[in-house]
Amino acid sequence: MLDVLVCTNLVNYTIAVRGVRPSVQRPALLLYEPRRFERQPLPGVRHLPINIWSLRLVRWLAKLGRVHTLYLPHHRFNPRVAAAAASAHSVAYLDDGLDTLRRQPRNFDLDRVIDQPPYFTFRDHGALPDWLARFEVRPVCDLVDLASVSPRTAMPLAGIDHVFFESPGLQPAAVIRSLGLDPRRSLVVRHPIAAKRGDVPAECRTVNGTDFNPEATLLASQGKAFYFGETMVLVFALHAGPAARNRIRAQLSGPQRDNLVLDLQPAESAGEVQLFEPAVSVS
């Protein structure tokens, strides 16, 4: 038998390779999304990109009784994965990112959770939402591991005072305009999905987020102001050390903020913009 791990982003891949540590108990097959992150060579682990053929393979391996544990990021995925989960010896879950900190998750069908399956997550998380009581929560690695799993380098920030990570809720152009920031000393990290990109002042520098290592950038920075919407990079900034050396600001709608178990309080506001900051000073 073998274990199968399905990793759709760097968060659950980090949980898999640094926490679950596939192949320690059994040979492992790891399905990954090559557009989202770069895989690492791991002894005893066969990597395959997620596509129709690899998902069919997992479904048939499970149907033949060859899958011991199927590790999933969540429920709302390909129907072939659901079929594999029904045939696998056991199912466990890998922290997928912000859903772990949402009071109401977006990607789980909680009525399908029985017998408290394992849920692998980060040790840094404090309070967790009530819905995770349905799982056996296993903190297995640290948020800082996100920075070292990716081989990409930190962003060059010479001449930059304000860095915006495009994400749901954040409007870089509105923040720059309302707070009177100098766009020439501002950098916008563009969202990898073009449809989720917003307006950016012409004077701003921009980079593609997938070309650099956001977590390594935050760890290497001091005295910068970082702005986020609803993104896991905000959680990293709050809890992995960067908040002690930089200003961390979040622009979130009321429903976004209310649904996150993050300790944030109102920060400065101007016109149409309301920002939040860590509720407790980090030092």
pLDDT at residue 281 in the model: 54
CB 135, CB 118: distance < 8 Å: yes
Tokens describing residue 111: 């009525």
Segment holding 237, helix H or strand E? helix 232-239
Find the range with the poorest average confidence among 104-118, 205-219, 259-273.
Answer: 259-273
- What pairs with residue 132 in β-bridges? none
Show me where the domains of the chain are located. Answer: 2-149, 162-278
Tokens describing residue 283: 């030092």
Give me Rg for the CA atoms of the chain.
Answer: 20
Count of CA atoms in the C-beta half-sphere (13 A) of 136:
7
For the segment 219-275, what is each residue's pLDDT rounded down to a tens digit?
999 999 999 999 999 999 999 999 999 999 999 999 999 999 999 998 877 777 889
**Cα–Cα dist 60/81, whole Å:** 10
Please tell me the class of the 2-149 domain.
alpha beta
For the segment 115-144, what is each residue's pLDDT rounded down to a tens digit?
999 999 999 998 899 999 999 999 999 999
Average pLDDT over residues 54-58: 95
Helix then strand then coil, in percent of the chain rounded to 5, is 30, 25, 40
**Cα–Cα dist 87/60, whole Å:** 9
Where helices occur in the chain by DSSP H, the ranges are 10-14, 52-63, 79-87, 145-149, 172-179, 214-220, 232-239, 254-258
- Sign of the alpha-carbon dihedral angle for 85, 90, 95, 99: positive
pLDDT at residue 283 in the model: 42
**Cα–Cα dist 5/29, whole Å:** 6
Average pLDDT over residues 4-28: 94
pLDDT at residue 40 in the model: 87
Higher pLDDT, 67 or 80: 67
Taking the model in full, what pTM does it have? 0.92
